[in-house]
Amino acid sequence: MYSFLMLPMQRITRLPLLVDAIFKRLDVQSPQYEICKETLATLNRIVAECNDGARKMERMEEMLHISRILEFKDCKAIPLISSSRWLVKRGELLRVTFDFNAKRTFGRSVRYSKSSLYLFLFTDLLLLTKKKGDEYYSVLDYCPRNMVQTSSAEGQDSGIFLPPRLPDCCRNLFQMTILQNHEGKMVEMLLSTDSESEKTRWIDALTPVVSSNPDERIYEEWDCPQVQCKHAYVPKQPDELALEESDVVNVFRKMSDGWYEGERIRDGARGWFPASHTVEVINLHVRSRNLRQRYRLLMASQSYLEGQLRGRNGSKGK
């Protein structure tokens, strides 16, 4: 059965190579030139569609396998299988907790505890699990992907208080903040990776892309605002998006001159449109944005209070 399914796929991927070889040998003035050119473009499109379909099936098989090895004992179970969800990254990290309140003798380092976490990052979801044996994983916590905030914990500019001497097992640290977990709570944790590159890859995977252009804002599909059309818009350029009243659009890019680029939800059509014809919809992106602003204010307030306290302690010492 497998060979019968695979043979058509193998044959169709070879057809563009054959037609391309013929196309390169044709004279531009030949009557077959344009026909061959169109045939090659059509075959390339079909192959791309076949590859996309095969990729989707592989992702679905992977999701089915992951759903079988996850156990929801410590938290409420959620449906994992979705046509728009697939695995982005997975791996084992070390959660480190320092006890700064414990009494220390002279020369002794700060006490710490460590525990192993196994993370599954999907297109729209983050699962925190604990490995059970060789195959199964117990889910400890989860949250939407856009409810996660990360920052490197090393360096003077990090704003994260660490002991002066770190244990050898606590290198490549970064802080991960879950703004709202499955219980609606905020959770902060310090994580350690095996290498600097692995730390960077986790931070990049968990952090939305930021545009270098100050007049442009870019959004990921898993963390984008939504707008609803309040006035119909008729496109004036081929790259613009036609809008009807009540159309809902996922916004992927915002420009300072009032133009948005997005994808119409009802049919997946993509293009540019004026923001003045739409109004923003309250969705998960807006909630996470508000929680991020609240978290930044809390951190700024905490940093200010710690600075005031250090200043008082310094003046008392004098």
Match 């084992």 to its residue by tokens: 92
Domain ranges of the chain: 1-67, 72-101+109-210, 226-282
The confidence score (pLDDT) of residue 90 equals 94
The confidence score (pLDDT) of residue 42 equals 93
The confidence score (pLDDT) of residue 314 equals 56
Q: Does the 72-101+109-210 domain belong in CATH 2.60.40.10?
A: no
The confidence score (pLDDT) of residue 224 equals 87
Q: What is the distance between the alpha carbons of residues 22 and 40, in angstroms, rounded to a whole number?
A: 10
The confidence score (pLDDT) of residue 136 equals 93
Q: Are strands 136-144 and 70-71 parallel, antiparallel or unpaired?
A: parallel
172 sits in the region (left: phi over 0; alpha: psi -120 to 50; else beta) called left
In the chain (318 residues long), the average pLDDT of successive 10-residue segments reads: 65 86 90 92 90 87 94 90 90 84 55 88 94 91 91 68 67 89 91 89 85 76 89 92 93 92 91 94 78 73 65 57
Q: What is the distance between the alpha carbons of residues 223 and 211, in angstroms, rounded to a whole number?
A: 15
- CATH number belonging to the domain at 226-282, selected among 3.40.47.10, 1.10.730.10, 2.30.30.40, 3.30.465.10: 2.30.30.40
The confidence score (pLDDT) of residue 101 equals 63
The confidence score (pLDDT) of residue 217 equals 80
Q: Are strands 270-274 and 70-71 parallel, antiparallel or unpaired?
A: unpaired
Q: What SS3 state is found at 137?
A: strand
4 sits in the region (left: phi over 0; alpha: psi -120 to 50; else beta) called alpha
